[in-house]
């Protein structure tokens, strides 16, 4: 294990100004994409060090809900971002004009840019891509109540600007003065991963030099909780919430709702090296497809997910044997975990590499999950260690998986496959690789 891995160093990376041996293009002739900054606002920590150490310790943060009165719900616990102060990033007037998803996203984006230093490119060649499942939907719910109770004249004129999914990247671009592409993607729980993959494409094909890519969700609210309680998707362990999220465990009974945001700064590798940036690693592979099967249930045989993984690995110019570990979607639901296990067995017929799911620690961040987990996957790969999966006590006997449990597992610096699968059959996968200076 490297010293960085041993000490849980979340800033492990390489800083080599103008490294002459760094090839500017990948195996397909595309610009290489470096990750130079990351920022997070999650239930397990609002900075990289806290998040990484919490996940490495496999310490669940699930607890009774404090955002609202959950006594009316059959499930009364979740993973909330508890130590976040929006006024540390925003003036009071601007904060009032944002749904919580934009507050979280804006703060994570500012932290990512600060972490990156001075990203490369002219303003017109800097972009923001944001993924979210529902955007500011809670604002819509609140204002619907206002309209019904107090009349249409009391609905805030800011309702649409607050609920629209593209509000978050708009606020970020306005703050930074970045005039390049700016948009939101909505692919349910695959949104954050999709945003990072699409951002990498903007750089790979020469449209941008720098892209802020991430995801966010304001999902611990009475409307979302009521919906997913009714659907039967959530764990019901009210008497033991800390042990409720159980990815790939034989006794899993549903996922735990989470909220949060995460952003990564992606830069053209040669430009990042030229300015002496610290390089966490690279986005080397991306896969995106659809099950075309069911609006909420995954394709049972995992065929769509397996094809997406294979696409990402091939896009990276790698083989399955090159993958050091898998950052699984691993929600802890019966159907999703079974599907992903079957897909992994298909992609890795000789046996899966080590598998981990951070959702045992901080629940399911919905549209933000893929971005937050990409941050963790990159830190883990750079440090050469696989975090343990919290609450995993007994692997489902149907699964042929090497689930990492109890303690971090040192494996050396190797590429990681990070998976996200969303309602509607949306599948997105990334391959992230440590940067070796070449």
Q: Which member of 364, 392, 426, 429 is catalytic? A: 364
DSSP state of 14: E
Question: How far is residue 101's CA from residue 259's CA, in Å, rounded to a whole number?
Answer: 8
Reply yes or no on whether 308 is catalytic: no
H helices present in 67-221, as ranges:
92-96, 100-116, 137-150, 159-163, 167-176, 191-204
With beta carbons less than 8 A apart as the criterion, state whether 297 and 327 touch: no
Cβ within 8 Å of residue 315, ≥6 positions away: 284, 285, 286, 287, 431
Say what the alpha-carbon torsion angle 335, 341, 343, 346 is, to the nearest 10 degrees.
-140
Q: Which residue, among 220, 264, 223, 188, has the nearest Cα to 363 in the 3D structure?
A: 220
Reply yes or no on whether 364 is catalytic: yes
The pair of structure tokens assigned to 198 is 């699409």
DSSP state of 234: B
Q: Which residue, among 411, 298, 271, 424, has the nearest Cα to 352 in the 3D structure?
A: 411
Reply yes or no on whether 329 is catalytic: yes
Q: Which residue, among 193, 204, 46, 35, has the nearest Cα to 129 in the 3D structure?
A: 193
With beta carbons less than 8 A apart as the criterion, state whether 46 and 40 touch: yes
Angle between helices 369-383 and 191-204 (to 10 degrees): 70
Q: Which member of 79, 189, 208, 229 is catalytic? A: 189
With beta carbons less than 8 A apart as the criterion, state whether 308 and 428 touch: yes
The pair of structure tokens assigned to 311 is 């696409």
Active site residues: 189, 329, 364
């Amino acid at each position: 294990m490297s010293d960085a891995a041993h000490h849980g160093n979340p800033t492990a990376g390489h800083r080599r100004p103008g490294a002459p041996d760094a090839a500017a293009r990948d195996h397909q002739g595309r610009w290489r994409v470096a990750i130079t900054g990351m920022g997070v606002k999650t239930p397990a920590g609002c900075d990289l060090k806290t998040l990484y150490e919490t996940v490495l310790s496999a310490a669940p943060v699930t607890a009774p809900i404090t955002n609202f009165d959950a006594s009316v719900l059959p499930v009364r616990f979740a993973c909330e971002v508890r130590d976040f102060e929006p006024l540390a990033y925003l003036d009071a007037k601007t904060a009032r004009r944002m749904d919580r998803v934009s507050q979280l996203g804006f703060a994570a984006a500012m932290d990512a840019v600060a972490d990156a230093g001075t990203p490369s490119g002219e303003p017109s060649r800097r972009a923001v891509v944001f993924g979210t499942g529902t955007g500011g939907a809670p604002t819509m719910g609140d204002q619907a109540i206002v309209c019904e109770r107090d009349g249409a004249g009391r609905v805030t004129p800011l309702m649409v600007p607050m609920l629209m999914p593209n509000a978050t990247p708009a606020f970020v671009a306005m703050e930074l003065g970045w005039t390049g592409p700016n948009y939101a993607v909505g692919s349910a729980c695959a949104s954050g991963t999709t945003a990072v993959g699409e951002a990498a494409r903007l750089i790979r094909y020469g449209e941008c030099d720098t892209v802020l890519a991430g995801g966010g969700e304001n999902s611990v609210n009475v409307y979302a909780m009521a919906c997913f309680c009714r659907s039967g998707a959530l764990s019901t362990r009210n008497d033991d919430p800390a042990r409720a999220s159980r990815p790939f465990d034989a006794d899993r009974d549903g996922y735990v709702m989470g909220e949060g945001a995460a952003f990564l700064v992606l830069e053209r590798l040669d430009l990042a090296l030229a300015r002496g940036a610290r390089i966490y690693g690279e986005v080397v592979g991306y896969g995106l497809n659809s099950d075309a099967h069911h609006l909420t249930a995954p394709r049972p045989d995992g065929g769509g997910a397996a094809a997406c993984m294979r696409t990402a690995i091939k896009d990276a110019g790698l083989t399955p044997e090159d993958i050091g570990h898998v950052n699984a979607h691993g929600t802890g639901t019966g159907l999703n975990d079974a599907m992903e296990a079957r897909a992994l067995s298909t992609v890795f017929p000789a046996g899966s590499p080590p598998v981990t799911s951070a959702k045992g620690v901080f629940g399911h961040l919905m549209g933000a999950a893929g971005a937050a987990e990409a941050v963790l996957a990159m830190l883990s790969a750079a440090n050469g260690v696989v975090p343990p999966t919290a609450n995993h006590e007994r692997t489902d006997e149907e699964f042929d998986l090497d689930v990492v449990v109890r303690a971090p597992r040192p494996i050396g610096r190797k590429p990681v496959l990070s998976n996200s699968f969303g309602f509607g059959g949306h599948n997105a996968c990334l391959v992230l690789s440590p940067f070796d200076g070449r």
